[in-house]
Structure 1
Amino acid sequence: MHVHILFGASGTASLKYMFRETDSSESNQVIGFHDNLVVGPLWNLHKPEGLVNRQNWLIQHLPIVLGDDFFEKSYQEEFMKCVHQVNSVTEETPITIWCTNNASEQAGIRLIMYLLRDQSNPIRILNVKPIFDRLFNTGKYKMDIRSVGEVNPDKLELIYKEAACIDPVNETEKISLMKEWGVLSSSKELLRIWWKNQIKEVPVDYFDDYLYEIVLKVHGKRKQKEFIRAPRIIGEAIGYLNHDVGDQFLEYRLRELVSQGLLEVEGSFKGMPFYSVRAK
């Protein structure tokens, strides 16, 4: 048995598909946290009160995708299920934590190290990005991947084979990562980015100016500013952004720009497809 752990719904689905389609004598279990640790409080997340606090913040601030009430009905149960699976891994079982250079997956590494603090499993950290760059970013057009979920299963399989020689983390590295989780889980900050090879906490309005500039960019030089569909703004913002913050967080901040009086709105906030915005 080999256990694989990662953060993000898309990456989890890709990894599970990869192992289903791969001929291997090894049995693989994928533990996937459907969460983005870039946004929302991480305070005491390894404890019940911290998980409830995070869930409440996500429910109150992130817009609900139509037909998806995951945060309200399933989030806490699914998170605790994953924690239980991690804690149930037997001592001798090798573990691989999958990541790229984003704050969610990197924070996830630190949380997992804390959860496994009393176990001696061989734990490898497989950073997909440098291997992806070496194998696939060799031509004129290059893809700057921001999460494991942006890599298709066929490429993940090749990356996994290339990573066979990665050594497990040593005790010093494990302790250092655990201490970093201690810092993260003691903070009340609500937004994180990956900056100069470390997790950096930033104000929750860190991307507001960027979002506003996207609105102005779409307006262009037209004298008459027309209303722009919210999905277009969010889509362009995600496309140019190097950080994997997620569309729900960006929509939350777009609505905040409306609340602050910087943008006008037309339509209903019942869902992203139902409203448009323009700069005042």
Structure 2
Amino acid sequence: MQTLIKNTEITQPLTSVQRKQYELEWQKISSTKEMLRVWSNGQLTNVPETYYDEDILSLILQIQKNEEGNHYVNAGLIVGTMIGQWNLFISTSFIEYRFWRLISEGKLLFKGIPYAMHLYFLRIP
């Protein structure tokens, strides 16, 4: 927070032209159908909601292989790995939403109590 305050003290306010440019940029971004946006190559990019699905499935498969047998993997561990190791700025709610979509598509199996991520486990069928 201190860094943010310090940076705003030395930053000049936006000009009306800059502000208008950001406003137009946001209108363009927000008018698209995609519900997920990622920071890529120095800019905000719209991507389909399935953007991370293959990475999620690969991570689960990798963790399953590191265990002996094809065990179920704790959903909280998967989310923690994604956010921590991949440095993602994405909500855990969105990741969990993708879990349930993958389950409904038959790409993931689950067991446990679907109340909270630490109470259920996932695996590749």
What TM-score range do you get, normalising by the shorter chain? 0.7 to 0.9
Q: What's the secondary structure of 2:31's corresponding residue?
A: coil
Q: What's the secondary structure of 2:51's corresponding residue?
A: coil
> What is the rounded CA distance, in whole Å, between the counterparts of 2:30 and 2:66 in structure 1?
46
Q: What's the secondary structure of 2:38's corresponding residue?
A: strand
Paired positions, count: 125
Runs of 4+ displaced beyond 4 Å: none
Corresponding residue number in structure 2 for 1:164: 9
* 1:252 equivalent in alignment to 2:74: no
- Of 215, 219, 224, the residue aligned with 2:64 is 219
> How large is the RMSD of aligned CA atoms in angstroms?
1.8
- Verify the 8 A CA contact 1:193 1:200 in the aligned structure 2: yes
Q: What's the secondary structure of 1:220's corresponding residue?
A: helix
Amino acid paired to 1:231: G
Corresponding residue number in structure 2 for 1:207: 52
Task: Note the C-alpha offset of 1:188.
Answer: 2.1
Greater gyration radius: 1
Identity score, percent: 28
Task: Note the C-alpha offset of 1:162.
Answer: 4.7
* 1:274 equivalent in alignment to 2:122: no
Q: What's the secondary structure of 1:193's corresponding residue?
A: strand
* 1:181 equivalent in alignment to 2:26: yes
Quick one: structure 1 residues 180 and 159, their matched pair in 2 at CA, closer, same or farther if it must change by over 3 Å?
Answer: closer
- Verify the 8 A CA contact 2:36 2:48 in the aligned structure 1: yes
Q: What's the secondary structure of 2:32's corresponding residue?
A: coil
> What is the rounded CA distance, in whole Å, between the counterparts of 1:246 and 1:233 in structure 2?
13
- Verify the 8 A CA contact 2:110 2:121 in the aligned structure 1: yes
- Of 231, 234, 253, the residue aligned with 2:76 is 231
- Of 199, 222, 240, the residue aligned with 2:85 is 240
- Of 36, 42, 46, the residue aligned with 1:191 is 36
Task: Note the C-alpha offset of 1:159.
Answer: 4.5
> What is the rounded CA distance, in whole Å, between the counterparts of 2:6 and 2:84 in structure 1?
30
Amino acid paired to 1:199: L
Task: Note the C-alpha offset of 1:235.
Answer: 1.0
Amino acid paired to 1:216: L
Which structure 2 residues correspond to residues 1-280 of structure 1 after superposition, within 5 A? Answer: 156-222=1-67, 224-280=69-125
Structure 1 unmatched ranges of 5 or more: 1-155
- Verify the 8 A CA contact 2:75 2:120 in the aligned structure 1: yes
Q: TM-score, normalised by structure 1?
A: 0.42
Q: What's the secondary structure of 2:37's corresponding residue?
A: strand
Q: What's the secondary structure of 1:200's corresponding residue?
A: strand
